[in-house]
Amino acid sequence: MAYSESAALSALSEIRDPRTGRDIIASGMLGDLIFKDGTLRAVLRIDPALAEGFEPVRQSAQDTLAQLDGVETASVILTAHKAAPKLGKSAAPKKRVVPHQARRPEGYQGDSQIEIVLAVSSAKGGVGKSTIAVNLAVALAKLGKSVGLLDADIHGPSAPILLGLKGVMAKTEEYEGRRLIKPFTAHGITAMSIGFLTEDDGPIIWRGPMVQGAISKMLWDVNWGKLDYLIIDMPPGTGDAQLGLAQDIKPKGAIIVSTPQDLALADARKGVKMFEKVDIPIMGLVENMAVFICPDCGNAHHIFGKDGAKTEAETMGVPYLGAAPLDMAIRESGDNGIPAAAGNDKVADIFKALAKALLEG
């Protein structure tokens, strides 16, 4: 059988930290996990003072990984991370270190021909961020732009379903002296997702640094080609992973998606502030599920409130790109793998208007 990273992580989660009794994954010890040409390499991060006591843990992890399917050779190393020294009154201030330092590979970069990178963020799950990201990408393509979509939601990838690519597996190709991942093309856009790189529907249990590493690889190690726009469907939230991604990838701008309700808008404000902290301009706010038109009576129902995101955009001083309704056609099209924006009806026109507002902003 072929190597599975999920199997490797599961196996490592059975190994315990002798100090705490917690598994080494939950303890945050796993710093890196790389598989190439039959060789699996893992890095365990520990306090240098504990190196000798952790040798049995290192050996156990190495032996465990060596037994996995597809692994010919396993290597586990310990890397020492010293605690930062305490600053005394006379100590000189230290240069601030970014906690997530991107490490680009040598040679040709997969994103080298991308003109503009835009992040689509919600700061809160369940507001339809992925639906907006996919349909916005398709709408931009219909306006004549060359567009890519990077599904960066590692723990809940939606692009494979929304684009009708569920179950497909990505392959690699040689390009400019490097072995790169070949993305898929669907509905006029180029797409990559962690869902194209995993073999099953099981949960991905990676911690923050591994999540960020996977997303960086899907940016730098994918043969995107020449694109006018790359839309990144960001993971929900405003935590460590999101902040690190914003710093490392440095999109030209961000689009915030929110429903009209106060609960979602509170998180949208956090998202705006997060991007402001890393000097990424807000290109606009999109109000999703703005209104529901009853198919029986034709009446409009503002289930999550009326014009909440529009009002919030005015308050925050950010552009308002427009609204998308809570519409059965959008839900059905997503489930069927045919984005609503790919059609030629009134629903498709909604996303066309959002794309035009973005281009004109």
Domain that holds residue 51: 5-80
The 3-class secondary structure across the chain, one letter per residue, is: CCCCHHHHHHHHCCCECCCCCCECCCCCCEEEEEEECCEEEEEEEECHHHCHHHHHHHHHHHHHHHCCCCCCEEEEEEEECCCCCCCCCCCCCCCCCCCCCCCCCCCCCCCCCEEEEEEEECCCCCCCHHHHHHHHHHHHHHCCCCEEEEECCCCCCCHHHHCCCCCCCCEEEEECCEEEEECEEECCEEEEEHHHCCCCCCCCCCCHHHHHHHHHHHHHCECCCCEEEEEEECCCCCCHHHHHHHHHHCCCEEEEEECCCHHHHHHHHHHHHHHHHCCCCEEEEEECCCCEECCCCCCEECCCCCCHHHHHHHHHCCCEEEECCCCHHHHHHHHCCCCHHHCCCHHHHHHHHHHHHHHHC
Mean pLDDT by 10 residues, the chain (361 residues): 82 85 78 84 77 82 91 82 41 42 73 93 82 97 97 85 92 89 96 81 52 74 95 79 69 89 75 83 90 76 76 87 89 93 94 95 76
Q: Are 53 and 118 members of one domain?
A: no
pLDDT of 90: 41
CATH number at residue 218: 3.40.50.300
* pTM for the predicted model, two decimal places: 0.69
Please indicate, yes or no, if residue 96 is contained in any of the structural domains.
no
Beta bridge partners of 73: 39
Q: Are 66 and 120 members of one domain?
A: no
The dihedral over CA atoms of 338, 340, 345, 346, expressed in degrees to the nearest 10, equals 170
Q: Give the number of domains in the chain.
A: 2
Q: How far lies 208's CA from each of 166, 205, 239, 301, in Å?
A: 25, 10, 9, 39
Q: How far lies 267's CA from each of 41, 174, 256, in Å?
A: 38, 42, 10
Q: Are 178 and 63 members of one domain?
A: no
Q: Are 30 and 171 members of one domain?
A: no
56, 80, 104 - which closes a domain: 80
pLDDT of 85: 39
Q: Are 142 and 36 members of one domain?
A: no
62, 80, 98 - which closes a domain: 80
What is the token pair recorded at 244?
């690190």
Q: Are 210 and 330 members of one domain?
A: yes
Q: Are 200 and 57 members of one domain?
A: no
Please indicate, yes or no, if residue 99 is contained in any of the structural domains.
no
59, 80, 101 - which closes a domain: 80
Nearest to 274 by CA among 109, 121, 102: 121
Q: How far lies 133's CA from each of 34, 93, 244, 300, in Å?
A: 30, 42, 20, 25
Q: Are 56 and 131 members of one domain?
A: no
Within 234-275, strands assigned E span 253-258
pLDDT of 103: 62
Task: Indicate the SS3 state at residue 141.
Answer: helix
The identity of residue 216, as a single letter, is: S
